[in-house]
Chains A and B, each alone.
Chain A
Amino acid sequence: MDLIQIKDLCFSYPTKKDTLKHINLNIESGSFTCIVGENGSGKSTLLKCILGLNEDYTGNIIKEKNIGYLPQKSDIQTNFPATIEEVVLSGTISNHPSKIFYTKSDKEEAKQVMEKLNIYNIRKQCFADLSGGQQQRVLIARALCATKDIIILDEPTNGLDPSIAKQIYELLDKIKREENITILMVSHDIERALNYADKVIEIINGEVKFIGKPSEFKMGGAK
């Protein structure tokens, strides 16, 4: 089953024409897909179109389920005065958007996710006081509170130490295997992406140049 279907997607920024050109792809349920490509190739723009953050596109994007999102680190205020618990709990906002307060089930959901990701014991700590790796773990927990189907991550390991980046990939792989949650991520770290992903999409100058298995990409890719 395809959770996301993209048909003939084109997008231009006012200052950059043809950022995305005739993109066609599907994201299957239960897959771990990595979008790779150079800076400015259109990877993050594609994610923003899928998420509805870029609206003026042409073509079709069909989304079957709720999406959990982990934005680029630069989009987050890392010195924000909020506890881990407040950040994770905010992921449940789309579950009961009309309620004034978080429900018991929202709090239970956030508790379970924090326990799974080993951050429940530090839930009262300030988000701003955490290391980069821990902050990403908290934001993954928030994304998991938003959905049980698919999470989209925009360069989640950017700026992290290689050992911490490895832990984040392992965590995502575990989430995919144990929770059957579909992972779609943009990554610069091609080598690691190839180790964990089961599907690779390469974008060059706004066009999809390769879609296939990591083993096929290693043998040639788009180049």
Chain B
Amino acid sequence: MIATVVEMMSHIFIQRAVLVGTLISLCAALLGVSLVLKRYSMIGDGLSHVGFGIMTCATAFGYATPLYIAIPGVTISAIILLKIGNNHRIKSDSAIALISSTALAIGVAVTSVTTGMNTDVCNFMFGSILAMSQADVILSVAVSIIVTILFVIYYRKLFVVTFDENFAKASGLKSDRYTTIIAVLTALIIVIGMRMMGVMLISSIIIFPALTSMRIFKSFKRVVISSGIVSVVSFLLGIYLSYLYNISTGATIVLVNLVFFILFTIVEKIIHE
């Protein structure tokens, strides 16, 4: 195994993928706890579809670094999505479905009249560790560090807002501001992560670690820490197995996450018996 890891890590593109993937997995898991508990699990899915729409359009029009357009685009969508969700006439899950399907439709329509379903589009859909350029790596590391620092700074407030939004408001916290921060940070992680994980799979690294950790741990702090660990370990195991058996990296990471979810569920059953 060590020899395989050494051989694997001799490739520059894998070094980049390990660095970026570890940071993204950690950030996605941290944000995932609040998103799952606030019943915003599907926001990752919706935003990744928006990211797909923007990235395919940018690629079709010959823009060399679509990530730079996708980041502000998806961030603005996250804010719009929350605003629509707060409108009592449209529920938040409907708002996510509305925006995500529209963005996906625009992406597919533009692709079909321009480049067609080429390798770039397939990479956006299912992810590719080859897709990370050095510029992407620098951007990803910077964004991941910002997300982690902001999460630590706002940890106490995120707990209060996630547990009981009315109490947070009554205590003078601007709860809408913190919900927006979560959505914006999620948007950033989604855009960066979808290059490697793919549009179809990125939301799983947000949802799985939190749900897995909640099977066993009954304290918010432990759930957060466990989610981070489960997510990073799943990523590292996933990329190793994907290299070993030549399977799609994004899909392997999701399947490893599933295995952890099943294991934690079994442990939970044993503990309760």
Contact = CB atoms under 8 A, between A and B. Distances in A.
B61 interface: no
Contacts of A121: none
B169 interface: yes
A100 B155 CA distance: 8
A52 B166 CA distance: 9
Interface string B122-157: 000000000000000000000000000000110111
A19 interface: no
Contacts, number: 84
Interface residues of A, number: 34
B157 A81 contact: no
A193 to B, nearest CB: 22
A88 B269 CA distance: 29
Contacts of B171: 69, 91, 93-94, 146
Interface residues of B, number: 28
A19 to B, nearest CB: 15
A75 B219 contact: no
A67 interface: yes
B170 A77 contact: no
Given A90-B159, A94-B171, A97-B172, A82 B219 contact: yes
Contact of A75 (B88, B155, B166, B222): B166
Given A77-B37, A81-B220, A93 B166 contact: no
A69 B156 contact: no
B91 interface: no
Interface of A: 14, 48, 51-53, 67, 69, 71, 75-77, 80-83, 86-87, 90-91, 93-94, 97, 99-102, 124-126, 128-129, 142, 146, 152
Interface of B: 37, 88, 152-153, 155-157, 159-160, 162-164, 166-173, 214, 217-223
Given A51-B166, A100-B156, A129-B218, 13 more contacts: A67-B170, A71-B164, A76-B163, A80-B220, A81-B223, A82-B163, A82-B218, A82-B220, A91-B171, A100-B153, A100-B155, A124-B219, A128-B218
